[in-house]
Amino acid sequence: MCELLGMSANVPTDICFSFSGFLHRGGGTGPHRDGWGIAFYEEGGYREFRDPYPSVDSPIARLICDYPIKSRVVISHIRHANVGNVRLANTHPFTREMWGRPWCYAHNGQLEGWQTLPLVFYTPVGDTDSEHAFCWLISELRQAFPRPPDEADVLWKFLHGLCEYLRGLGVFNLLLSDGEYLYTYCSTKLAHITRQAPFGEAELSDAEITVNFAEHTTADDVVSVIATQPLTHNETWQHLMPGELLVWHDGIIQARYSSNSSST
């Protein structure tokens, strides 16, 4: 299995604190030594960094900690290979352009029967179940919506249905974004926390680092972090329910879809 880390914020925010703990799971406190990647949606565009080596030893991961990149949406992934060799083409997140936006995707879990998921517009570069499922998912979205629908809710409901279908094939915990919204879908485990005023101190679980967010924020900041497992041990994280899709925007939950019902 792998580890997921996501962020949604209402102001450009760096993820250095969370990432400093997260990267230790890639060969330090966790066994996920098979590559890692991180994608940033910034005010001016999109960029990503990746390495096929353990994040705990990676000079590129160190750069991410030392060079604060401010963004509103971040998706990161640390890989523990199951399907597909350890190589750059198999590191998450994966990206494809749809509707003139870079869509970014990271997956935790393992699927069965993924090889027969039909592909239309997009083809995997590597050989993982994860990338194949992404190419299928975004192909389905594009077939259903050649252009972005006027009502976002229509898109989100459809996306929830696709996630539910993939959950039927195995374990499918998901982070997905088009830069505007962050979609988090839970198959087995995904936890989140929203930090806003009054800000307090947080202590990482994976490294001896403490931060007082009050020193780094303004009263209006809202920053949510989503991860496969809580990253701090002195805060209360919420857990998603299996089958639940949360749509994040500007750090808050804009819509929520569960297996049996939905609300926005």
Q: Are 131 and 90 in contact (CB under 8 A)?
A: yes
**Which residue of 12, 28, 31, 102 would you call a contact of its own copies, by CB under 8 A?**
102
Catalytic, out of 2, 104, 135, 186: 2
Closest to 244 (Cα-Cα) out of 234, 255, 235, 236: 255
Q: Is there binding between residue 145 and its own copies (CB under 8 A)?
A: no
Q: How many residues bind its own copies (CB under 8 A)?
A: 35
What is the x/- site pattern for its own copies, positions 50-89, by CB under 8 A? xxx------xx--x--xx-----------------xxxxx
**Which residue of 47, 70, 233, 239 would you call a contact of its own copies, by CB under 8 A?**
47
Residue ranges in 25-44 that form contacts with its own copies under rule CB under 8 A: 42-44
What is the x/- site pattern for its own copies, positions 112-131, by CB under 8 A? ---------xxxxxx-----
Q: Is 2 a catalytic residue?
A: yes
β-pairing, 201-203 vs 191-196, is unpaired
13: Cβ contacts below 8 Å, ≥ 6 apart: 7, 70, 71, 72, 221, 223
Closest to 230 (Cα-Cα) out of 13, 8, 21: 21
Residues noted as catalytic: 2
Give contact residues for its own copies (rule: CB under 8 A): 42-52, 59-60, 63, 66-67, 85-91, 96-97, 99-102, 121-126
